Amino acid sequence: MSLWFTARGAGLSALLLLSTATCLGALVARPASTARSSSPTRRYVLQYVHRAAAGLGLAVLVLHVVTILLDTYAHVGITGAIVPFTAGYRPTWVGLGSLAFYTFVGVSLLGLARGRMARSERGARLWRQLHGLSYAGWALAVVHGFTSGTDSSVGWVRLLYIACVAAVAASVTYRMASVPRGMPGDRFTVRAPQVTEQPSAPARIPEGASR
């Protein structure tokens, strides 16, 4: 049972860390017009904590998966963990957890290519759309943990889920409210410089010509 307790503790810890990373990601991903108004130090700290929470959450998530596989009581198995919806224990809800894990790993690997992709407008837009899949991964993780966890009926565990959902919902709402109407929310987009048309000089009339 010690492996099962470790697996559940790691799963709840991963949920808390990834919820924190999701909230901070929503808060720092604002359009350039509103991002300039905030302190550069504050934005740097939020970005740093966002990445640290995401990296630590992914590491704890790996611990959660490993301990689940080592625990014979869970009846998940390697195949059930790798192939979604094939586990012997609550296959549907465990399958959602597998999809969430794949999503988080993919988004983390994509983060390594952020600097290169953000050099062009098309690349920045593509990166932002793919990075937005982390919201889907987080939602899958919440449903997976609440439906497959044996401690979901415990009061403080339910409060933890409610607090994570409320925090992410509030962060996303604040982000959407901070985007001015008619302005795209992509602050990584590289926009072409605006060229103002200069008035052309009047044509010079040769001397002796009739006016």
Query: Residues 141, 143, 146, 147: is their CA dihedral positive or negative?
Result: negative
Cite the DSSP H helix spans in the chain.
2-28, 32-35, 40-70, 77-82, 91-111, 114-117, 121-131, 133-148, 155-177
3-state secondary structure of 186: coil
Which pLDDT value is given to residue 38? 59
Averaged pLDDT for residues 55-59: 95
CA–CA gap between residue 118 and residue 210 (Å, rounded): 59
Determine if residue 77 is left, alpha or beta; phi over 0 gives left, psi from -120 to 50 gives alpha, anything else beta.
Answer: left
Which two three-digit tokens encode residue 202? Answer: 């009047």
Q: Helix axis angle, 91-111 relative to 40-70, nearest 10°?
A: 140
Which two three-digit tokens encode residue 181? Answer: 């109407």
Residue 204 pLDDT exceeds 60: no
Reported as a single tens digit per residue, the pLDDT across 58-72 is 999 999 999 999 988
197 phi and psi angles, rounded to 5 deg: -75, 125
**Tokens 């040769």 belong to which residue?**
206
Reported as a single tens digit per residue, the pLDDT across 165-189 is 999 999 999 988 877 665 554 444 4
Averaged pLDDT for residues 110-131: 80
Provide the pLDDT confidence category of residue 202 given band limits of 50, 70 and 90. low
The pTM for the full model equals: 0.78
Averaged pLDDT for residues 117-137: 84
Which pLDDT value is given to residue 10? 95
Range of lowest pLDDT (8-22, 110-124, 137-151, 166-180): 110-124
Give the N- to C-terminal CA distance of the chain in Å, as an integer.
103
Which two three-digit tokens encode residue 139? Answer: 């939602």
Average pLDDT of the chain to the nearest whole number: 82
Reported as a single tens digit per residue, the pLDDT across 20-47 is 999 999 988 765 444 444 577 888 888 8
